[in-house]
Chains A and B, each alone.
Chain A
Amino acid sequence: MEHYMMNLTLKVWRQKNANDKGGFESYPVKNISSEMSFLEMIDVLNEELIRDGKDPIAFDHDCREGICGACSMYIDGRPHGPWEQNTTCQLHMRAYKDGDTITIEPWRANAFPVIKDLIVDRSAFDRIIQAGGYISVNTGNAVDANAMPVEKDKADAAFAAAACIGCGACVAACKNSSALLFVSAKVSHLALLPQGSPERKSRALNMVAQMDKEGFGACTNTGACEAVCPKGISITNIARLNAEFSLAALVSQ
């Protein structure tokens, strides 16, 4: 792919803290290489802002290789930008051309309050995991890897669900700010494996209860979450969770 340089205009959401009203600010960015990543482009802008004695744009990032789920930008009306099954850190500037204007917003949901600029508080996801996203294991020596037989199909489906990195793009994309794709991936991942069976029922009930408590909306099966998921988590998991939850609720005391 041919290398080129570009000048862009960024419209970025700036908000000092959770109580600040916030608003958009425009920044011209010059001499951006098509081989830079999106976050490197922001780094360049931030270096300039720091040089000018201004506050740099706060944004979440960690591994910068698409596996941690930290980066969370809503770019031009789509979580993680225009590419399919991609995280913001893996979005590269070859997706843009000279003269483009890019609008960057934080994830929007009551359950994800803005901490600063583009950083939102996603600890609601941690509390959902704490409510049931675990399994019981015996302490002592590690069990032999193949001691427990798992059907190949189920292992594959569980692995596909386990690919969820908890970035919250599903919530950001959903018109109801529903976290059901995230919760269903976590529940499916463990429900499909024998290791997850002791807490199978309480897990579905408790994780959904915690999700509701955190203020996420109800799922209406629009499919927007699946379309933006960087890990391609299928909404079939949501249907599986619906069954897990309903059956667990029906047989519970």
Chain B
Amino acid sequence: MKWSEMFTSSIGKKLVMSLTGIFLILFLIVHVSLNACIWAMDGGEMFNKGAHFMGSNVVPRILEVGLFAGLLLHIIQGFMLEFQNRSKRRQGYAVAMGSKGSKWYSRSMGILGSLILIFLVVHISDFWFPNRSNQGFLLGEEINLYDKMQVTFQELWVVILYIAGCISLAWHLLHGFQSAFRTLGVSNKKYLALLNATGIGFSIIIPFVFAMMPVSFYMGWV
């Protein structure tokens, strides 16, 4: 079997979703950890140092290219799978099955993913794009991202939008985390139980910490 045959088979396409999904999950850990420096209560000194490292060191900047590639692959493959899967039942049922046997969020990964994508467009144009364009997209002068957050999160509607983005992410992860490992072939019940529990914890804690960032700025906690 050729590589192309492997990755265009139904299981191969899911493997792509699974591997890029796990890669993005790992990115979330890096992102949330670095951003948590806003709570160092030092006027953003530690946070800006972290941001400076990520923006000026060549290794994270190369990894950044990989991140966008992985993200794009996850988005494009996700949309293609969603449309292909929907086309497999030309005539639908008069009485929908609904939630008899599956959770709504496991059936709504396409919609949840699209909501996250809309949020990401706003989020990237809020921070990443202005910062990188200030750098000339290479290793030039950065902007003060802590001050930028401070200003951005004074608007209530922005804070609400970010919280909505985090909620979409939480539901997306609640199915995606454990599903990614099933697709990779984890069938051992002992490990599946561990991954399920970890997945639930991850889906609640990470989006919650993210959501607390705009809230902290808006409420003046930092």
Contact = CB atoms under 8 A, between A and B. Distances in A.
Given A216-B10, A221-B183, A78 B100 contact: yes
Contacts of B101: 78, 173, 222-228
B96 to A, nearest CB: 6
B106 to A, nearest CB: 4
A242 B182 contact: yes
Contacts of B172: none
B179 interface: yes
A238 interface: yes
Interface in B1-27: 1, 5-6, 9-15
Interface residues of A, number: 55
A4 interface: no
Given A218-B10, A228-B101, A74 B106 contact: no
Centre residue among B15, B88, B96, B179 by max chain A CB count within 10 A: B88
A56 interface: no
Contact of B9 (A176, A209, A247): A209
Nearest to A201: B1
Contacts of B106: 220-223
A182 interface: no
Nearest to A216: B88
Contacts of A223: 101-103, 106
Given A220-B14, A248-B1, 20 more contacts: A11-B94, A77-B95, A78-B97, A78-B101, A103-B94, A176-B85, A208-B9, A208-B11, A217-B88, A220-B85, A221-B106, A223-B106, A224-B97, A226-B101, A236-B187, A239-B187, A243-B184, A246-B15, A246-B184, A250-B6
Interface of B: 1, 5-6, 9-15, 81, 84-98, 100-103, 106-107, 109, 175, 178-179, 182-187, 189, 192
13 contacts: A77-B98, A110-B88, A175-B97, A176-B88, A178-B88, A180-B10, A208-B10, A222-B106, A223-B102, A224-B100, A227-B102, A242-B15, A247-B185
